[in-house]
A and B are shown apart, each in its own frame.
Chain A
Amino acid sequence: DQQVKQNSPSLSVQEGRISILNCDYTNSMFDYFLWYKKYPAEGPTFLISISSIKDKNEDGRFTVFLNKSAKHLSLHIVPSQPGDSAVYFCAHNAGNMLTFGGGTRLMVKP
């Protein structure tokens, strides 16, 4: 079984600076990790994914880095904007079943 952990429940960043959100996993065997952003009372919105054969994937202001030896991935948001304030979930996809981490609440201050 894959366990996904986001050890920082919250993160506060100044507008324009970099936001780094972290995620750890337990099982070396995986296909894909995905990052979702969620506003209150809305469904999660897909941001970016990374496969096990890559160590980096970039899409605009969002970059995900994968460190397989450390079983760790991180989402970088540069530059951070106030509209990025939300809860961010890391999720593992195995056989179309998503297992989510506990989430990190990002607050971007103007």
Chain B
Amino acid sequence: DTEVTQTPKHLVMGMTNKKSLKCEQHMGHRAMYWYKQKAKKPPELMFVYSYEKLSINESVPSRFSPECPNSSLLNLHLHALQPEDSALYLCASNGPGTYEQYFGPGTRLTVT
């Protein structure tokens, strides 16, 4: 099973809202990632969690706040977003010693 699940599938939020994106995997992977993909562009890395600890933050604005409650779950808390933050947000994971990352289906976020 190489499934990564993400909820919700679609999200529309105003600039003053607070919302959260959720990601889950049950493959025993200990590295989890958030990527952002704008239309007609490749995915761009935002955050890396390794063994539930934030190891990489690619200079992401503080209005994006990641959280890893346990080894299977990854959240992305959103607050005071801008319309330019509208994108597909992808979660991925991979196991120790492996190079391929497995992606979830993504959350399509629209900020109005």
Q: Which residues of A contact B (CB under 8 A)?
A: 31-32, 34, 36, 41-46, 49, 51, 89, 93, 96-103
Docked complex Cα distance between A51 and B97 (Å) = 13
Q: Are the C-beta atoms of A43 and B90 separated by less than 8 Å?
A: yes
Chain B 76-112: CB-based contact to A (< 8 A → 1; otherwise 0)? 0000000000001010101000011111111010000
**Residues on B with beta carbons closer than 8 Å to the beta carbon of A49:** 99-100
Q: Which residues of B contact A (CB under 8 A)?
A: 4, 6, 31, 33, 35, 41-45, 48, 50, 56, 88, 90, 92, 94, 99-106, 108
Using known A-B contacts A96-B50, A96-B94, determine if residue A43 contacts B45 with beta carbons closer than 8 Å: no
Q: Are the C-beta atoms of A101 and B56 separated by less than 8 Å?
A: no
Using known A-B contacts A96-B48, A97-B45, determine if residue A44 contacts B103 with beta carbons closer than 8 Å: yes
Contact for B4 among A43, A51, A98, A100, CB less than 8 A: A43
Q: In the complex, how many angstroms separate the beta carbon of B105 from the nearest chain A beta carbon?
A: 5
A-B contacts, 6 of them at CB < 8 A, read A36-B103, A41-B105, A44-B43, A89-B43, A96-B50, A99-B45
Q: Are the C-beta atoms of A31 and B99 separated by less than 8 Å?
A: yes
Pick the most buried of A42, A43, A97: most chain B CB atoms within 10 A of its CB.
A43
Docked complex Cα distance between A100 and B103 (Å) = 14
Q: In the complex, how many angstroms separate the beta carbon of A52 from the nearest chain B beta carbon?
A: 11
**Residues on A with beta carbons closer than 8 Å to the beta carbon of B42:** 89, 100-103
Q: Are the C-beta atoms of B43 and A100 separated by less than 8 Å?
A: yes
**Residues on B with beta carbons closer than 8 Å to the beta carbon of A102:** 41-42
Contact for B106 among A31, A41, A51, A99, CB less than 8 A: A41
Using known A-B contacts A34-B100, A46-B100, A49-B99, determine if residue A97 contacts B48 with beta carbons closer than 8 Å: yes
